[in-house]
Amino acid sequence: MWKVGLYLTKNLCSPSNYNINTSLREYAFKSNLKIKWIRPEKIPCQKPEKSGDLQKIGDVDSKGFPLQFSDSQELLDADEMVKKMFSLGFLPRKYSTQVLRHEMVCTVQRHHLDFGSMESRIASMTSIIRNWQELYEQFPRNKKLNVRLKELIDKRKKFLKYLRRWDYKRYEWLLSKLDVVYHPPPNEFRRVTRKESLCKLTDKYCNDLKEQRLKQYKATLESQQIEFLRDKIKLAIQIRTGTDKSLKEHSAALLRCGVVQCGVCSHQFPNMHGNVR
Amino acid sequence: WLQYFNKEEFIYAHDPEKKCKTGDIVLIQELPEKMTRLISHMVKHVVYPLGDITDPLTGKKVVVGKYRDEIAEANELYGESENAFKYDDAPDRGWQEDKKDFTHRESYIKYHEFPDDDQPYAV
């Protein structure tokens, strides 16, 4: 019973709550500021927005030939039907992806036999990742593909991390060539909770409020400054041009002490060394 | 059973010219008096910048365990392609900051959708 009494007295004593019927709960605090929190949408890490791929894999020439027959002269002289049969448009998807992968690696490799250097490996991984991302969009129930895709993305991120450590210039050049974005991992991995996010938002709100009010106060003080300087100039002109000797002597004495008297309202201001902005 | 753990020590060093970037190995000097409560040292110069190490004995540029000349020699023997990376044409570190490379700032997990803010450092 004594707790209820305390609770009622608390209610009555606070100047804002004169209505006795209002309830003040002591759990699950809800502030009066009415800050709206929008939970960010969870984007799966296999999607290109999260994995860092800004471009989709390019379209392959449907009349082109697979890698194995790229050098053959007989295909070029063959019949149209034969050419059609061997063209990438009529062959399984595997052959077009091979061609695209080879093309991507060719844009980055050091020499025509370089498939082992860091940049060529990352390039081949990016082409596969982009291809699988498109495939997964078409067939979202292929979970094994999803798992492989996620693992490949993580591997590429790891390789980029190593390359950044070993050769920063090459790493930057590679990011620009392949159109890949690299984000470092966050220091903490915590669940996004309503309480924590609202706490951060209220802190932000309070800091913004403080800054805004300080700005306002500064503006008012600066506006006062202009008037004061104007009066000071007037006084100075008066002193130099005027014939009142006593005023001159008095103001000279005050200047020596570091005080200036306004001739209009006889208010004493500290000497600002005559800096007119 | 025995377990070994790394120990980390954080020192706040004064760097007005912003010589150092994340990951650089740097030479610092202890100040005669502490500048602030935390700042006790100052940065003298960068010894090994991240990813751009020069061998102190020979003075040649190094990539992990090989000299750059060795790699260039191997590429020449194979027949260097046009699209290969050239060290001479590469600009200094930092030209991809805020575009493709977001390692210069600490990243955090997105906790709110701000209407004006793009939040490029949010993961």
Q: Looking at beta carbons, which pairs linking A88-92 to residues 24 or more positions away fall under 8 Å?
A: A88/A60, A88/A61, A88/A62, A88/A63, A88/A64, A89/A62, A89/A63, A91/A66
Residues of chain A with pLDDT under 50: 1-9, 11, 275-277
pLDDT score at A6: 46
pLDDT above 90: residue B61 = yes
Give the span between the Cα atoms of A14 and A181, in whole angstroms. 55
Residues of chain A positioned with their CB less than 8 A from the CB of B64: 166-167
Quote the pLDDT of residue A5: 43
The residue whose two tokens read 């078409």 is A138
First-to-last C-alpha distance (Å) of chain B:
38
Cα B85 to Cα B91: distance, rounded to the nearest angstrom: 12
Judged by a CB distance cut-off of 8 A, whether residue B36 touches chain A is no
> Which residues of chain A make contact with B79, given a CB cutoff of 8 A?
111-112
Q: pLDDT for A92-121, tens place per residue?
A: 999 999 999 999 999 999 999 999 999 999
pLDDT at A167: 94
Say how far apart CA B66 and CA B68 lie, in whole Å: 6
Structure tokens at A70: 């790229």
pLDDT at residue number A263: 56
* Cα within 13 Å of Cα(A101), Cβ side: 18
What pLDDT is recorded for position A9? 47
Q: How close B113 gets to chain A, by Cα (Å)?
A: 6
Predicted confidence (pLDDT) per residue in B99-111, tens digit: 999 999 999 999 9
> Ramachandran region of residue A28, left (φ > 0), alpha (ψ -120 to 50) or beta?
left
Contact between chains at B107 and A190 (C-beta distance less than 8 A): no
Give the residue-averaged pLDDT of B89-114.
94
> Is residue B113 pLDDT above 60, yes or no?
yes
pLDDT band at B8; cut points 50, 70, 90: very high
Cross-chain CB nearest to A176 (options B79, B80, B96) = B96
CB contact (8 A) between residue B106 and residue A113: no
Bridge partners (DSSP) listed for residue B13: B41
pLDDT for position A260 = 57
Tokens of A91: 């062959």
Chain A interface, best mutation among B112, B117, B123, by max A CB count within 10 A:
B112
Q: How far apart are CA B21 and CA A265, in angstroms?
A: 58
* DSSP annotation of B122: B
B119/A21: higher pLDDT: B119
- Burial status of residue A168 (CB atoms within 10 A of its CB: 0-12, 13-18, 19 or more): buried
Q: What is the pLDDT of residue B85?
A: 95
Q: By CB neighbour count within 10 A (0-12 exposed, 13-18 middle, 19+ buried), where does B32 fall?
A: exposed
State how far the Cα of A51 lies from the Cα of A40, in Å rounded to an integer: 17
Interface of A with B (CB under 8 A): 37-41, 106-114, 119, 164-176, 179-190, 192, 196-197, 200-201
Please check the confidence at residue B35 and state whether its pLDDT lies above 90. yes
CA distance B7 to A81: 70
Q: Give ipTM to 2 decimals.
A: 0.93
Residue written as tokens 């007037």?
Answer: A234
- When pLDDT is averaged across residues B55-78 and rounded to a whole number, the result is 94
Q: For residue range B68-77, list pLDDT tens digits in order.
A: 999 999 999 9
The pLDDT assigned to A256 comes to 74
User: Average pLDDT over chain B, rounded to whole?
Assistant: 94
